[in-house]
Structure 1
Amino acid sequence: MAMPRFHTVAAFVVLAVSAAWVLTGEFSSIGSAAQDSPDKASEASEPAAAETQKVLRTVAVMEPNFIQHNRIIRISGVTAPDKRTTLATRSAGILGELKVEKGDKIRTGDVVLVLDGAEKQSVVDTAKALLDQRQKEADNIERLVKNGISPSTQSDSARSALASARSQLEAAQADVDRLTVVAPFSGVIDQVMVEEGSWLPSGEDVAVLLQLDPVVALGEVSEREITHVSVGREADVRLISGEIVSGSVRHVSLEATAGTRTFPIEVAITNPDNKVPAGMTAEIMIKSEAVTAVRLPRSVVTLDAAGNLGLRILKPDNTVGFVPIDLIDDSPEGLVLSGVPLDAKIIVAGQDLVSDGETVNAVPADADLVAAATVKTAEPSQ
């Protein structure tokens, strides 16, 4: 009998080993896979479940307390005198008498200075004598004409001469009056630019007169806020010293400044003792109409995707919404805002971590945060 060839034997050996490996390893792996498959399937399903059931963000919400608050228009300004004038001479001459000093309070018609003018006074005396003479001549002519002694034409000539003499006296008196400088209104002398004995030409500046009661705060309102400002509105003015004085709007320009598109305004402030000087930096706070508003901490305000200022609110379906607001006032207690819906629940914590339309887990705000946003009174602010 012939012996099997070597490659035939090798083939049978490889076949036997392969069969043994299949029987001992493959069937065992399949069983293990069958046993492990539930765990692997569970692990594979967890990411999908996590995607489907995201963890909701928690935010704190509160129901605001609405108040009636006056809109405050804040603008930069400067104080100025109600009236200011530079007094000047009306005639040339030597300053004979200076009757005021810096800081003096004077009234309308008070004499500020007098120029020497003896020669002009003599002209007045001569004109007075001539007028007296012409008056007597006219009276005599009237009697003669009345008695029929003189013709009526002489009466006309006498009256003409009398009128001419009267005009000469008035002109001479006017020249004398121009030697005196008087106050056109009551106020305080702020500057004196001359000395007694100096020669002053006609039109020379001699003193600056200010009227500081009332003192005026000048400012300019933007075209967006001009509709909230009108004559008679109350206004507070904070001076650079920190002092706050009260007044009212007395003038609102009907034409905007060309360069800035703002409208000049004036606020009159009672200043009987001249305590408020002119030229001082001031912040003008004009009180406009009272509006329904809420006072909230500054941290509550946020921005939407377009950069609009507003608040995030909780909708009835527990999703996040956004409402734009109008800044009414910036007080030490917080921002006063209008435009908030009356039934709104405001997100006061976590508002910057959520977006519009996102479903959230809402919880009541803690007591400290609520206290910071609670207003004690619902009366209109003063």
Structure 2
Amino acid sequence: MFAQLSKRPWIIAVVIATLLLLWLLSGDRFVARDDTQAEPDRPATSAELARVEVTWLEAQPMQRQHVVQGQIEAWRRVELRAQVSGSVQNLDQDKGNRVAADQLLLSLSPDDRPAQVARSEADVRQRQSDVTAAKRLRERNLISANELMRLESELAKARAELDSARLQLRNTRIKAPFAGIYDQRAVELGDFVQPGQSLLTLVDIDRLKVSAQIAQQQVTQLELGQPVKVELLDGRKLNGELHFIAAAADPGSRSFRIEVKVDNPDGLRLAGASATLHIQTGEAMAHRLSPALLSLDENGRHGVKWVNDAQRVEFTQVQLISVDNQGAWVSGLPPKVALITLGQGFVQPGQQVTTQLATEGS
């Protein structure tokens, strides 16, 4: 056999090459198996975990409040209109004057109304005399009951005409229905006016009302008499209380109209201006934090990231109670929480991290 192989040396070369290839392949599998066994599963070391800074926050009592934009209005505002025709005879008060209730503001020409009153008064006296005489005659059965009834009816008609004539004359004198400020005048001396025409405007600003619209989700937290802070555009603040809540929402906005009454003893001219309402709705436990630490979940809800006792990141949805220049008040977190103040954008809920307490002022 070896003699035959010696005659064909290429067969020996093929066999050697085949054996060498098989040895190399078996060696790769052995090495690969050893490599796999050399790297067993193990927990990540602290050096490999993400590092975040945390600050311990504790819940504090705070006053819950709703903040809405409102419009300041006069407590009462009335546009006085002419009820009879006539010329403007006298401007008894100037615009801007403070007037008392029932004070004369403007006079129209009486024309023939005093004469109509005098005729009606004379007619009433005559009818009254006729009725008196008829009653004496009726007692002696000298006139019928129907005749007496007719005379009494004419007396009643004459009295009604007298009342109408007196009212017509009285309506030529325009008086203040309540104490206030003579705010606007729509006519001048000598103008002829018709019934229904606007004459002047009277406003009462000894008390103001601030109207606003509040969302339907918040109206259930309101009660009449709740204290309200009214912040003016110049920073001044007035005290008020909620005195009106609409029974039905506006069909367009689905919001409810509210009104806040504010005493104005100094007569500040604020009607028509804008204001911010801070409506107190009771005390609650909440956390105060920077608005920059708020983030949104996949559904667009506000929340914050914090670290639990197992050093894992948690995301908790919070309710935003109020926001101002100093920070935000939120509810929904545990009473004491390690809030992530640095690195929250690089970690996800459930991820294990290492924590470092944030330095003061960071």
TM superposition score normalised by structure 2: 0.80
Stretches of structure 1 that go unaligned for 5 or more consecutive residues are 1-40, 370-382
Q: CA RMSD in A?
A: 2.8
TM-superposed deviation, 1:145: 4.1
2:258 aligns to what? Answer: 265
Q: Match of 1:106, as an amino acid?
A: V
Structure 1 residues 55 and 130 mapped into 2: Cα distance closer, same or farther (>3 Å)?
same
TM-superposed deviation, 1:118: 4.0
**Per-residue displacement from partner, 1:9-31 (whole Å, max 9, x unpaired)?**
xxxxxxxxxxxxxxxxxxxxxxx
TM-superposed deviation, 1:84: 2.1
Which residue among 243, 251, 255 is the counterpart of 2:244? 251
Is 2:88 the partner of 1:89?
no
1-structure distance, mates of 2:296, 2:171: 69
Secondary structure of residue in 2 paired with 1:64:
strand
Structure 1 residues 313 and 52 mapped into 2: Cα distance closer, same or farther (>3 Å)?
closer
1:280 aligns to what? Answer: 273
Which residue among 118, 142, 145 is the counterpart of 1:150? 142
Is 2:313 the partner of 1:359?
no
Whether contact under 8 Å (1:215, 1:276) holds in the other structure is no
1-structure distance, mates of 2:126, 2:299: 93
2-structure distance, mates of 1:196, 1:251: 41
Q: Match of 1:211, as an amino acid?
A: D
- Whose radius of gyration is greater, 1 or 2? 1
1-structure distance, mates of 2:67, 2:305: 27
**Per-residue displacement from partner, 1:30-50 (whole Å, max 9, x unpaired)?**
xxxxxxxxxxx99xx89x999
Which residue among 54, 72, 81 is the counterpart of 2:65? 72
4+ residue runs over 6 A deviation: 48-51
Q: How many residues align?
A: 325
Stretches of structure 2 that go unaligned for 5 or more consecutive residues are 1-33
2:205 aligns to what? Answer: 212
2-structure distance, mates of 1:100, 1:296: 58
Whether contact under 8 Å (1:295, 1:336) holds in the other structure is yes
Q: Match of 1:351, as an amino acid?
A: Q
Which residue among 321, 328, 337 is the counterpart of 1:335? 328
TM-superposed deviation, 1:252: 2.0
Q: What is the aligned-residue identity percentage?
A: 26
Q: Match of 1:174, as an amino acid?
A: L
2:311 aligns to what? Answer: 318
1-structure distance, mates of 2:98, 2:318: 51
Secondary structure of residue in 1 paired with 2:135:
helix
2-structure distance, mates of 1:162, 1:259: 57
2:7 aligns to what? Answer: none
1:9 aligns to what? Answer: none
Structure 1 residues 256 and 145 mapped into 2: Cα distance closer, same or farther (>3 Å)?
closer
Whether contact under 8 Å (1:302, 1:351) holds in the other structure is no
1-structure distance, mates of 2:121, 2:54: 93
2-structure distance, mates of 1:362, 1:160: 100
**Per-residue displacement from partner, 1:118-140 (whole Å, max 9, x unpaired)?**
41101111221222233233333
1:37 aligns to what? Answer: none
1:61 aligns to what? Answer: 54
Whether contact under 8 Å (1:93, 1:199) holds in the other structure is yes
2-structure distance, mates of 1:160, 1:302: 84
Whether contact under 8 Å (2:321, 2:331) holds in the other structure is yes
TM-superposed deviation, 1:88: 0.9
2:120 aligns to what? Answer: 127
2-structure distance, mates of 1:51, 1:313: 22
Is 2:105 the partner of 1:112?
yes
TM-superposed deviation, 1:349: 2.9
TM-superposed deviation, 1:207: 0.5
Whether contact under 8 Å (1:60, 1:365) holds in the other structure is yes
Structure 1 residues 295 and 155 mapped into 2: Cα distance closer, same or farther (>3 Å)?
same
TM-superposed deviation, 1:305: 5.1
Whether contact under 8 Å (1:82, 1:211) holds in the other structure is yes
1:179 aligns to what? Answer: 172
Deviates most, 159-168 or 331-340 = 159-168
TM-superposed deviation, 1:333: 3.1
